[in-house]
């Protein structure tokens, strides 16, 4: 879920905005609504949002005063304005999107899609940097979220929640501890490269498993493993030796 705040001093607009987001953007979680500068700043610091919808003009201040007060910020911004001239100032503040009032559900959907893509790009960049650090320190950040690209957008999940990744042609089916089955629009080889090798192992051409989510190993030519979701998976005989070295 993408943590989202609304900063809007007009009650009617904030109600419409909240309703349209709830009905059309289920991957957005609205954490709060602020009507004035001080409350907005406090809420941003408390919730650490991924996305903020901001009216450019507030009764006693404006969106740019809030952003100046925040200094550097990592969240995406979608400005809500009835003045098109503010689009130029929006670009200066890195908000690559703005919507003009009166806005439609389609305006919200399109702006949100673009913001979601930018959030995902930052997530991917961050995760690659962190994973490179893991390779150097042999450490694993289990509470690290990764962005899973799907045909509909992106799904954000904790790395520790992945039980196994199953090849499905050009796609990968990711099974999680929450009993989710996420179809990622990337092949399994990419996940073999991205996920840390001291936690994830490709035991078979079709399966990449989380070592920490295994219940048992059963002997045989290559053997089989039983995962937390009850799935029993064959270990390719040519990978058996490397696989067993994890536990020696």
- Measured at the CA of 75, the angle between CA 127 and CA 102, to 5 degrees, comes to 135
pLDDT of residue 5: 96
Pick the CATH number of 2-120 from 3.40.50.300, 3.30.1650.10, 3.40.50.2300, 3.40.50.620: 3.40.50.2300
pLDDT of residue 124: 56
pTM: 0.51
List, in sequence order, every residue forming a beta bridge with 33; answer none if it has no partner: 6
Backbone angles phi, psi at 205, to 5 degrees: -55, -30
What whole-number distance in Å separates Cα of residue 26 and Cα of residue 106? Answer: 14
pLDDT of residue 123: 61
Looking at the structure, give the CATH architecture of the domain made up of residues 141-247: Beta Barrel (2.40)
pLDDT of residue 65: 84
- The parts of the chain modelled with pLDDT lower than 50 are 95, 131-132, 134-140
pLDDT of residue 89: 56
Domain parsing of the chain, residue ranges: 2-120, 141-247
pLDDT of residue 85: 58
pLDDT of residue 138: 44
């Amino acid at each position: 879920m993408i943590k989202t705040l609304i900063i809007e001093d007009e009650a009617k607009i904030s109600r419409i905005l909240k309703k349209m987001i709830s009905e059309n953007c289920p991957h957005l979680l609205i954490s709060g609504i602020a009507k004035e500068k001080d409350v907005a700043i406090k809420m941003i610091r408390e919730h650490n949002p991924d996305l903020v919808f901001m009216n450019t003009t507030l009764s006693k201040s404006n969106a740019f005063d809030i952003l100046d007060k925040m200094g550097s910020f990592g969240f995406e911004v979608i400005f809500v304005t009835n003045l098109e001239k503010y689009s130029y100032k929006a670009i200066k503040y890195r908000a690559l999107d703005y919507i003009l009032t009166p806005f439609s559900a389609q305006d919200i959907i399109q702006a949100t899609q673009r913001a979601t893509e930018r959030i995902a790009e930052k997530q991917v960049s961050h995760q690659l940097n962190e994973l490179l650090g893991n390779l150097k320190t042999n450490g694993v950040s289990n509470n690290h979220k990764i962005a899973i690209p799907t045909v509909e957008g992106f799904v954000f999940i904790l790395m520790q929640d992945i039980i196994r990744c199953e090849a499905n042609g050009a796609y990968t089916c990711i099974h999680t501890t929450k009993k989710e089955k996420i179809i990622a629009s990337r092949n399994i080889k990419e996940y073999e490269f991205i996920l840390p090798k001291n936690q994830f192992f490709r035991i078979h051409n079709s399966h990449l498993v989380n070592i920490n989510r295994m219940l048992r190993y059963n002997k045989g030519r290559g053997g089989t493993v039983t995962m937390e979701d009850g799935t029993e998976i064959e270990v390719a005989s040519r990978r058996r030796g490397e696989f067993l070295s994890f536990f020696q």
